[in-house]
Amino acid sequence: MKYRIATLLIAAGTAAFAHTGIKNEEVLARMDGMSAIADAVKVIGTMAKGETAFDAEAVDAALSEIEARAGEIPVRFETEIIPEKSEALPVIWDNTEDFGDKARALETLAAERIGSVQAADDLRPLMADIAGACKACHSEYRE
C-alpha cells in the first residue's frame, strides 16, 4: 500500500484543531492530549517527507510521547461531556470497552516501535501503521 505522507497526516487527524470556544476543562484536557499526540505524529511525518533530517532519537521520543498520551485516553474520556464544538461522538460512552481497546492498540503500537526505526525508509510504514490506529478510533468515535 502506498500513501502520501500528507494523506497519512490527514488520516491521523493532525490537520484539524477545534479548540476555539471550548471552556470545559475536562474537554480541553482531552483535546490537549490529542493535540500532543498529533504534534508527536507530525515530528515523524515531516521527517518521513524529508522536510526534517532523519533522527532516530527524535522518532523514539515522539513514540514515547504517543505511548504515554494514548495511555491517558481512557481516563480522559471517562466522563460523557459533549459540548458544542467537541467532535466526540456519544457512542464512545456506549462502547467504552472498545474505545479503550482502540486507545490501547495505539499505545501498544507506539511502545513496540520504540527502537525499531533504523533508517528514513522505516518512517513511511511506521506512519501508515500509526495513521491506521488513529483512524480506527476516529472513524467510529470522532465526528
Residue ranges of the annotated binding site are 134, 137-138
Residues 14/42, Cβ–Cβ less than 8 Å: yes
Quick one: cell of 94? 456506549
Give the residue among 101, 7, 96, 86 at the shortest CA–CA distance from 48. Answer: 7
Residues 26/73, Cβ–Cβ less than 8 Å: no
Binding site for ligand HEC (CB under 6 A): 12-14, 16-19, 27, 30-31, 34-35, 37-38, 41, 66, 73, 86-88, 92, 99, 102-103, 106, 130, 133-134, 137-138, 141-142
Give burial (CB, 10 Å; 0-12/13-18/19+) of 119.
Answer: exposed
Residue 122, strand partner residues:
none
CB of 133 to ligand HEC, least distance (A): 6
